[in-house]
Structure 1
């Protein structure tokens, strides 16, 4: 993987080397001919190169070049400098139409040829490339690019260092495991030796006991008995012995004798049979990689305060809301919002209406709209509603509805408000729109369908249900981090398969509803932690909408069809 990245960034590395050393050049002795002289059938070496014309000029022709008014502003460099930097020049023609770049689209941050402009950007804000390119050499963008190149090289160097360290660590880990295996074997050997010594010692003791009893009896008889007792004893023992000999002879087969045997411990047999190995060698795969340092992302990350831990987040039920069916029809609540005034608003996509409930949970008013899917608060009493062909601004106090034309001609899905602008999800892009409908920027996405979006400060959040991944990007489309969970798949419990709703708190933590699992989870502001904070025990049944209020620090969650919704106070 690293080698592939290295190949893809080869040109960047070359550029960086040129900036550092100024020695990246063509072969010595390479010459460039004068193009105007060549047109006249002459062969002369060029002394100057025009970056704008893309041709070389001899001393005579360059004077003619400078005499022409329209050509005086062209950028001329020496042939030596041209040869040094020739491989750094980028293609100035469109790769699709093979025509020269002439325009720049600020909305899509794209350089265009005439056909690109006519086919795809006729409604965008277009500038001449020659105008926007002025001052590029002294611009902060060039400085940022140089810093980014240097940062990339540093990242590659750190990657090599980490790779070498990883190999060294693996070798050391192998030796440590070998030493541990030998140590385990030594301990087992020592233990078995001790068991053997204990058993043999016990054998010796019991053998001595068996042979000692008879010898001790006759020794005591000889030492302590009188002559008379010995005389009587000899005859009595002799009689007894005679009788015993007869019994022994008659009962030889029933003879009882002392013997020694080894009664093994069953645990020992079990140990030998069950112990197949000392252990297993486990290869643990770590996903901790070198984190590339990107200065352009630092500012976005500074704007988010982080909780020490999402485990400190506690939800306390404030009150519940019950939304009534419209004319006894089935509801499909696809979105909800809690306003700073503590009024709550719901989208009933099935019946194309907007439902407002008061702070105490009682019904307030409803609005009949066209095919509506999502909504977002824009101030204390106004909300923006995404409809099929545009956006509706609804004042829930005055009950006035105003249409805003975003001029895209595409269906609208998710919508949210942040930084004084609307963020609208359409097919394959997120459009940033002023409240008057003026599109200020378009952020292309790698997938065609995203249903919901959330914004906090300079960070944009959306979910790709096809890959079950939460994506977090900046306003340039650069990915900051991702979170993957199999539960982030497209819900199957809805009749219409919409996406998964999400919202962000003041600390950058992400609240996500999981309709198929009757759960709400919270993901930490860096994507490293997550946990379930609401489930079926909180009366969740196909949760479909979620909304966080920055002013009141409350969370609103609604179910898709049973009309149930709850407001929670967030404490930490």
Structure 2
């Protein structure tokens, strides 16, 4: 098949050398490049090439050439001299394909929003569902276009966010470091009231303060470096886009804009991740008991954190009336499964990728919600309960029988085991927010807040609070725990204090947070899913007459609710149900 942009080979026979009957014949030009010489059967007006019978037939079927104008052998030009030789590849095509580095990007797929080379088109975008365009045919519309303006505006917005974020973090870091200086002064003042036996304790306190200062400065440097890199990257791209637009280089501008879209998405994520740096201000709280019980004490005092961020008001969300429609179901049982599925946990990495834990088949599964199929499965050798995303490519799964949290890589649409975090009991529910893991336990019943290394920061327990806390979900304001035996959803703040509770259920199980702050709860005892206000003041059944709803998750982008069933029947338990709520 003819490829637009190829030059005529120097050895090609043409009418410019008329020396024999063979020279007077017209031959297939594509075949003359690397195949046998075959007589021309027709001619493509668009490609300006003579074609043999096979090439002529393929030319009519191929995605990129099916709409070309073809002349049969009776209507085609009868000599090479009557048609122009292919022009050389436009100078505008200079960007290499990231997948096929020796190829140049020349096409754009409207369906996948992707820049393509000819190899990409041939191997991956040949189906009738892909609308592939040759860039010069569509690039003219980008000059001074709305897309051009929107891209530049988005770049400016991120640049401004970086500037503000850098300034804000610098200010609060200065306050934090200043407060730590005051802490050290208080330590020295307190130190004068006691004897030389406190020297070692004082050094420990100083080291702790300096460690926090060092961490503050390291975090500040990370923020400044990230913001500086993003700003420079965006300025370079912005300048290029402005120059290409001014000089009306449509092809290059088109490609640069498409690449800028992805850059903006990546940078937005980078800037969003900076929100995790919650810098604290400190003061020193004396240990008064040390004055009389010095020989029995092991610390000079503690650093009490107080966040420099403005506290967010507690959420108060009215439950709106929702329209519901069943969107179908997804089969999650595969040939390797020996038992019926029991999906105990689920989490959406993105609208097209769902991660689920299969308790009965001791596996974690990756589900493509678009194709409605299981695309990968990782056997764990023990029963997994719940799953959460720690980063965009890393998962954390609770393994109650082993008292472990298993970290799993989910990059390149493949699941792979990483390290494990040892915990001090049978762990069930798990959630993640702002660099911290929230894990619920049974025997004894409790909730723990851990860092990502597994270090326990806070423990909440008590017979009046928890009995069988199987699930937990979190946002920046609250922690919500679903307790099977207490028949409640308990709301706590990040200090572990109970600030709300919702009852009236028979057996609350899986829970998930909606984008507006309400909580969806599975209640298999009533075969319903209930929506509860963020302050736990009220609730309303949104789905009823279900079949043992078990685990649940919410997709804010598509307004879809996914949930599993537990009925001990294959026809229900091997499928995820999908409902749209609007």
TM-score, with length taken from structure 1:
0.45
Structure with higher helix content: 1
TM-score, with length taken from structure 2:
0.44
Q: Whose RCO is larger (CA < 8 A, sep 6+)?
A: 1
- Bigger Rg over Cα: 1
